[in-house]
Amino acid sequence: MDRSKNITLAIVATIFMFATVACGADNNAASTLQEELNDSVVPAQTGDADDFMCTFYETMPEYIGGVEALMKFIDDNLKLPECVKSGEVSGTCVIGFVVLPSGDCDEFEVVRSLNEECDAEAIRLLKQMPKWKPGMKKNVPIREKYCVPVKFAKEK
């Protein structure tokens, strides 16, 4: 019976220790863990580790005004190619690009293609975007990849 009490006390003490750290009583240990997490680069669990890496940052890049403002920009400036106007093609292409520390966007590429005309229009459109709020790491602007879906559908 004494042994089971000792095991129970050890479990309770361990839970209390983790709860104390998680609740911020030991801010130094928690902040150290957060810094390690922010600095880490973790390879994907499947596939070749050289093909895909996940990096954790404090803040991701953001279009000024948020996602709703970005979608409005796309809706207001998208020129539908003839293949979409005629109803031959509809769907979504995804364009990847890099948000630089200056907030400018560069290195546009097609991540998921719809067709050549739509892909070219999506890249043309996104190259016209105003500056973004860059991603941050330790309060320093960083270079970060970002993807935006651009939907093409016949106007009703």
Q: The CATH number of the domain where 81 resides is what?
A: 3.30.2420
* Residue where one domain finishes, among candidates 16, 36, 55: 55
User: pTM higher than 0.95, yes or no?
Assistant: no
Is 150 in contact with 74 (CB distance < 8 Å)? yes
- Beta bridge mates, 108: none
Structure confidence at residue 71 (pLDDT): 95
Shared domain for 99 and 32, answered yes or no, is: no
Q: CB neighbours (10 Å) of residue 68?
A: 9
Region of poorest pLDDT, from 5-14, 44-53, 92-101, 122-131 = 5-14
Shared domain for 136 and 70, answered yes or no, is: yes
Domain extent at residue 14? 2-55
Tally of domains within the chain: 2
Shared domain for 78 and 128, answered yes or no, is: yes
Shared domain for 106 and 132, answered yes or no, is: yes
Shared domain for 69 and 135, answered yes or no, is: yes
User: What DSSP designation does 59 have?
Assistant: B
Is 145 in contact with 97 (CB distance < 8 Å)? yes
Structure confidence at residue 57 (pLDDT): 59
Distances, alpha carbon 20 to alpha carbons 11, 23, 37, in Å: 14, 5, 19
Region of poorest pLDDT, from 11-15, 63-67, 95-99, 110-114 = 11-15
* Phi, psi angles (nearest 5°) of residue 52: -150, 125
